[in-house]
Amino acid sequence: MPAYQPPFQLTHRMTAQMSRISELLGEWNAINRNTLVPQLRRGNRIRSLHASLAIEQNTLTLEQVTAVLDGRIVLGSPREIQEVRNAFAAYEAMERWLPHRAEDVLAAHALMMAALVDDAGRWRRGSVGVMAGDKLVHMAPPARRVPDLMHDLLHWLETTDAHPLIASTAFHYEFEFIHPFSDGNGRMGRLWQTLILSRWQPMLAYLPVETVIKRRQQEYYDQLGMADAKADCSGFIEFLLDAIETGLRDAIQIENAEKTPVETPVETPVEKSAKTPQRILALLRQQPELTLADIAQAIGRSPRAVERAAAKLQTEGKLCYHGPKKGGRWMVLDDDKAKGRR
C-alpha cells in the first residue's frame, strides 16, 4: 500500500453506483457490439470536448465546434477556435498515454494548451487560486510542492487496488486540488479521468460524461468546494459516478432511438420524421444548450424538419422555449411541468 491516499471513504452508495454502471456498460457494449462506429465515436468525442470547453467559458456552439474540426471557416475568437483544435488533438492522442506517467500528463497539457499559455507542458511556477466572482474559493498548494504532490498522486494511481471507477474520480478531485498547471486544470482533470476509465473499458473513451457535468456545472463546483472544506472527496466521487451513470443512460437512450429496425434496413422519410421528436428530446436532455441547428446536424435532418418537430412538441407541452428569440434556449418539460402548461 502506498503511503499517500486520497481523502475518501468507500460508501454503500458508491458500491451501488458501480454496480449500476457495470450493468449499463454491458448494455451499451451489447448495443454497439463492443465498438462504436466511427460516426458515433467522432460525434461523442466532439460533444465531450465541446462540453468540457463550455465549462471553461468557451462560447462556441456544438455546430461551430464541428465546423472547426471539419476545417470550415467559423466566426469566433481565435483563442476559442485554438482551444477546440487543441482539445481534439489531446483527446485523439489519449490512447498513446499511460495514466500514471508524469511525462504523459505534461505531454497532454502541452497539446491541450499549445499557443494558449507560455508554459504549456510544464508544472506551474507560481501561486494559483480558483475564484468565484471576487471570492477566492480555493488556494492551491505552493508551486514548489507541485512536482512532489503529482509524483505521489501518480504513484498512488499506478499502485492502488481501488476500482477504476473510484480511482479515476478520486484522481480527478486530487488533480483539481493540486492545480498543477497555471491554466487548463479543469479540462485536463476531465481528460485524465476519461483516460483512466478507457484503460479499464475502451468504450468509455467515447462516453461524453462532460456533457452531464456541464449540465450540472454548479453542483460540480459545489462538490469540489465541499470536498475541500471537509478534507474528504467522497461526495465528489459519488457526484462523478452519478454523472457516468447518467452519461451511459443518455448514450443508450440516444443510440436506441437511432437504431434502425432489423426488418427495415433503410428508414423511409416517414419513419425518420416519426423519430425526430424523440431524438430532439433525448439530445436536449443530454445537452440543454443545443440549438435546433445543432440538433439537425447531429441527427441528419434538415433544419426545417427539426423546427416543425419542435413546434409539435411545444403544442403537446413537452418542450418550451425560454428567453429572447436570439440567445434563449429550449427546455424539455417533465410530466409535472407539462401538466401545468396544459
Q: Which residues belong to the active site?
A: 179
- By the 8 A CB rule, do 268 and 45 touch? no
Q: Which residues are annotated as a binding site?
A: 130-138, 183-190, 220-221
Instruction: Identify the residue whose cell numbers are 480558483.
Output: 130
Instruction: Identify the residue whose cell numbers are 478534507.
Output: 231
Helix (H, G, I), strand (E, B) or coil at 321: strand
* Whole-angstrom distance, CA of residue 62 vs CA of residue 27: 27
* Whole-angstrom distance, CA of residue 41 vs CA of residue 53: 18
Residue 93: which of 169, 214, 194 has the closest Cα? Answer: 194
* Whole-angstrom distance, CA of residue 95 vs CA of residue 72: 27
Q: Which residues are annotated as a binding site for ATP?
A: 130-138, 183-190, 220-221
Residue type at position 103: E
- By the 8 A CB rule, do 187 and 50 touch? no
- By the 8 A CB rule, do 270 and 45 touch? no
Beta bridge partners of 129: 139
- Alpha-helical (H) ranges within the chain are 12-32, 38-55, 62-69, 78-92, 102-112, 146-159, 164-178, 185-200, 209-215, 217-230, 234-258, 269-286, 292-299, 303-315, 335-341
> CB count, 10 Å around CB of 92?
13
